[in-house]
Amino acid sequence: MMIPRAKIIGTGSALPDRVLTNQDLERMVETSNDWITSRTGIKERRIAAEGEFTSTFATLAARRALEMAEVDPAELDLIICGTVTPDFPFPSTACIVQQNLGATRAAAFDISAACSGFLYGLSIADKFIRTGSAVRALVMGAEVLSRVVDWSDRNTCCLFGDGAGAVVLAAHEGESALLSTHIYSDGSHWELLHQPGPGNRNPASSQFLESGRTFIRMQGNEVFKLAVRAMEDAAHAALNANDFTVADLDLLIPHQANRRIIDAIGKRLGLDKDKVFINVDRYGNTSSASIPIALDEANRTGILKPDSLVLLDAFGGGLTWASVLMRW
Ligand code: UT7
C-alpha cells in the first residue's frame, strides 16, 4: 500500500491594517530608522487594533487558505495553531478558530514552539496524514505580539509585528508534497528568549503585573548566533535526508526575524540571493506567523512554481528550530 504524503493545497494570510513605521518608533523610543534598518532590515510592521485578537487573524488566514483549497471547513480532520500569544491561556486558539469556521469534525490544539510553531505544526500534521489518521488538516501560525512587547524598551519593541498565515494540507499520492520534516529543541537556553509571565511561575498578582516583567525578554546577540548555526544545520539535515544539495533548491523561505540572520544563512549555504524569500522589511518578526505569511505571498505572487523544491527553515524561543522540505 502506498503511504500518502501531505500536500499543501491552499495558503492564506491576514495582517492588521495599521502600519507602524520606523519613523513612528523614532517618536516613541530613542532609536532611529537608520539603526533599525541597518541592524534588522525592518522598515515597518503591522499592529492589531483594539478588538482584534490572534484568533481574528488566524480565522481570516484559514478562510483564505480553505477557499484556495476548495475545502469545506466540515471536511477538516485536524486544526493546529502555532502561537505564543493565544487569545486565552485556555482554551486553545485552534478551538476558537474551529468554532469560527464551523469545522465541526476536526480535533483542534495549539503548539507552543515560538517562532518554530508553524513548522512544528506542519511536522505533526504530516505524521497524521502519513499514518492515515487524518486526510485534511489546517495548520496556522498566528500572533499578536504587540500585546506582549514593552513599548518603552528599544531593544525589543522595534522587532515584532502581528499577523497570521495558514495552509490546508491534504493526503496526496505523488512527489509534489512535503518530503520531510525535522524538529529540534534545546531547553538549556530557554532564558535567552522568553516571556516571564503571567503564568504558573509568576501568577498575575498586582505585584507581578506592576513589575514590568510581563513582556518579551531577549538576549538578541546570543540568539542571533545560535539562530544562524541552527538554521544552517536544519537546512542541511533536510537536504541530506532527501539526497539533495543546495544547488537543487529553488526557494528558501526562512523565519523572518532579522535580515542579517537571513543573509548569513543564505551565504553559509551558498544560495543565490534571488532564491531567498524576504518580507521582514514589511512585517518585522511575526514569530510563528512569519513563514506561513511568506509562503502565502510567494504562492500568490507566482514565485512558487509547480515542481519547485522549497525549504522552510525556522528558529525561535525554547530554543526550538525546524526545517521542512517540499516539492511544490
Ligand atoms: O524570532 C526568533 C529569534 N529572534 C531572533 O532571531 C532575533 C535575534 N537577534 C537580533 O536580531 C539582533 O541581535 C538584534 C536586532 C536584536 C540586535 O542587534 P545586534 O546587532 O545584535 O545589537 P546588540 O544587541 O549588540 O546591541 C547593540 C547596541 C546596544 O547599545 P550598546 O550597549 O552597545 O551601547 C543597544 O542598546 O544597540 C543598542 N540598541 C539600539 N539602538 C538604537 C538596541 N536596540 C536599539 C534600537 N535603536 N532600537
Residue nearest atom 9 of ligand 1, based on CA coordinates: 220
Q: How far apart are CA 271 and CA 4, in angstroms?
A: 31
Our mutation pick for probing the ligand 1 site, out of 151, 221, 225, counting the most ligand atoms within 8 A of Cβ, is: 221
Q: Which atom of ligand 1 is nearest to the CA of 285?
A: 1
Mean pLDDT, the chain, rounded, equals 97
285 has catalytic annotation: yes
* 255 carries an active-site annotation: yes
Nearest Cα to 15, choosing from 262, 216, 286, 254? 286
- Write down the pTM of the prediction: 0.97
Is 22 annotated as catalytic?
A: no
Ligand 1 centre from 152 Cα, in Å?
Answer: 15
- Strands, E assignment, the chain: 5-14, 18-21, 44-47, 78-82, 107-111, 136-144, 162-172, 178-185, 193-194, 217-218, 251-254, 309-316, 320-327
The per-residue pLDDT for range 41-81, each reduced to its tens digit, is: 999 999 999 999 999 999 999 999 999 999 999 999 999 99
CB 33 near ligand 1, within 6 Å: no
Domains of the chain: 5-175 (3.40.47.10), 179-327 (3.40.47.10)
For 190-203, write each residue's pLDDT tens digit: 999 999 999 999 99
Percent of the chain with pLDDT over 70: 100
Going by alpha carbons, the residue nearest to atom 2 of ligand 1 is: 316
